Amino acid sequence: MIIVTGGAGFIGSNLVHALNQRGIKDVLVVDDLSDGRKFFNIVDCAIRDYRDKDEFLSNDILGGKINPKDIQAIFHQGACSSTTEWDGRMMMQNNYEYTKTLLHYSLQNRIPFIYASSAAVYGANEKFTEDPSNESPLNVYGYSKYQFDRYLRRVLPADHSQVVGLRYFNVYGPREQHKGSMASVAYHLNNQLKEKGTVKLFAGTDGFGNGEQRRDFVFIDDVVAVNLWFMDNPKQSGIFNVGTGKSQPFNDIANAVIDWHKRGEIEYIPFPDHLKGSYQSFTEADISALRNAGYQKEFHDVASGVKKYLDWLNR
């Protein structure tokens, strides 16, 4: 059995679909369906069972309901991922304490543990290598991921089963519609163009021109491929950036959406006051560690990734 927490969410559901495509159906999906709309992401999946995230932790893991010998791997993708959420108590309980419990369970039972970290740990830094000196989060979401990565470095024994932390950069693609305001720029710009014929980007800030703030935009298929590669290579452990290695401006996303629809124009809007001081205007993954571990597959650029996404989104 393979366990995917956050399995009805964006990255988790795409991972479940990819496992199914490999013929793997013995998948336990763990999630919180308080937002019931997320079920659409897995309605076409073949899974072994579904568990609520709290019942899974208290009954299946801590209560011993599941035999750890039956678990092939745990993909821990579940988290509160809102970068504008400031309830630190809730964030640390969901993203930090929960992950610590699963980590120690996995180490104790020598179960491969692949978990979602985030590029949000880097904050406003312009060096994006997996080094503590580059980590300075700007929001409590980033802090929750930062704190777990640092905890992992402190407690990981010399002799341990596989543990992999994947620092996702700006992921976009199918099955993210439930995320609302936290869905990708490509998703929102597609909706804006269909509704009003224009797409909106932030005006210049932090020394960047209109729409020229730059991010490392990574297509969901590439993120899933990295996860599965680590499952296939259980001797590889560590914390790794997952991005293309090349930043692109938000204007590239907007132009890719306009090109797909063959209509539309860009409108630049004032930068919101509430995001000042907690917004990453530049990210670019250094993927040297990932390449050195052995992952050599090429990543989609914005033009090819957005085209595939909009083919799916507007089907």
Residues assigned a catalytic role: 141, 179
CA distance 197 to 26: 44
Amino acid symbol at 285: A
Sign of torsion over alpha carbons 30, 31, 32, 36? negative
One-letter amino acid for residue 311 of the chain: D
How is 80-104 classified by DSSP, letter by letter? ---TT---HHHHHIIIIIHHHHHHH
Q: Position 84: which residue type?
A: T
Residue 199's beta-bridge partner residues? 266
The one-letter code for the residue type at 262 is K
Please give the angle made by the CA atoms of 253, 258 and 264, to the nearest 5 degrees.
Answer: 130
Specify the pairing of strand 217-219 against strand 163-168: unpaired
**How crowded is residue 220: how many other Cβ atoms within 10 Å of its Cβ?**
25
Nearest CA to 192 out of 135, 258, 137 is that of 258
The rounded distance, in Å, linking the Cα atoms of 246 and 285 is 7
91: left (phi over 0), alpha (psi -120 to 50) or beta: alpha
